[in-house]
Amino acid sequence: EVQLVETGGGLVQPGNSLKLSCATSGFTFSTAWMNWIRQTPGKRLEWLAQIEDKSNNYFISYLESVKGRFTISRDDSKSSVYLQMNNLKEEDTAIYYCTWAGLYWGQGVMVTVSS
């Protein structure tokens, strides 16, 4: 059974940082392209970042509006993908999902940015 479990969310003040983790099982993680997607309080879905697999040199792409603040990474030995979020803004408040190429999604983790 495919499983993706996000952790690391919470309440942070504007300007602070947070690192999300996504632990996976049930599929061959080392060849999987992984994504982070978020859902705003208004239910809008927004693709944030993708990291490809080793055969594609772990190519990374970002949504322009988070480039330079968010960093996606992976650890194939732990079947996990991460999202480091720096200089957080109130508009980053959302549920954050990791997905395996959009095929399977985790349950999501809430990030609230507020003073």
Partner 1 sequence: DVVLTQTPVSLSVTLGDQASISCRSSQSLVYSDGNTYLKWYLQKPGQSPQLLIYEVSNRFSGVPDRFIGSGSGTDFTLKISRVEPEDLGVYYCFQATHDPPTFGGGTKLELK
Check binding of 27 to partner 1 (CB under 8 A): no
Tokens of 42: 């208004």
How far is residue 112's CA from residue 31's CA, in Å, rounded to a whole number?
A: 32
Tell me which residues in 41-80 interact with partner 1 (CB under 8 A): 43-47, 61, 63-64
- Kind of pairing, strands 80-85 and 45-51? unpaired
Q: What is the smallest separation between the CB atom of 12 and partner 1, expressed in angstroms?
A: 22
Q: What is the smallest separation between the CB atom of 77 and partner 1, expressed in angstroms?
A: 26
- Candidates 33, 64, 31, 32; CA nearest to 47 is 64
Sole binder of partner 1 in the list 59, 103, 110, 114 (CB under 8 A): 103
User: Can you give the binding site for partner 1, defined by CB under 8 A?
Assistant: 43-47, 61, 63-64, 97, 102-108
